[in-house]
Amino acid sequence: MKHPDRATVERLEQLPNIGKAMAEDLQILGIMRPRQLIGQDPLQLWQALEQQTGQRHDPCVLDTFMAAIAFMEGGPAQPWWMFTARRKRLYGEIVSARKG
């Protein structure tokens, strides 16, 4: 896992868990720089991505958004799957309803 310095990262791909495809998803949402993630709501980003692309996205995308936002807000670099249990607690009903 990457361990970048959140104070100096300039590209989305420098963040933990963010590769080319995830960076492109964030750019669809108008997020071009890592600092733009600070203060964002991961669920709103996930829902907006679905609206913008006209597709359903796996809940692991939501986990990845949670991980990237948490990192940029001062948390440790963690793999996205470390956020799955938290996502299930916080957003489980919403995610289940959208999948069904």
Structure confidence by residue, pLDDT tens digits, 85-96: 999 988 877 767
65 neighbors 46 (Cβ within 8 angstroms): yes
| Predicted TM-score (pTM) above 0.85 | yes
Q: Stretch 25-49: mean pLDDT, rounded?
A: 97
Reported as a single tens digit per residue, the pLDDT across 42-60 is: 999 999 999 999 999 999 9
Q: Stretch 1-28: mean pLDDT, rounded?
A: 91
pLDDT grade for 99, boundaries at 50, 70 and 90:
low
Burial 14-27 (b: 16+ CB within 10 A, else e): ebbbbeeebbebbe
Indicate the burial class of 87 (C-beta count within 10 angstroms; 0-12, 13-18, 19 or more): buried
pLDDT above 90 covers what percent of the chain? 80
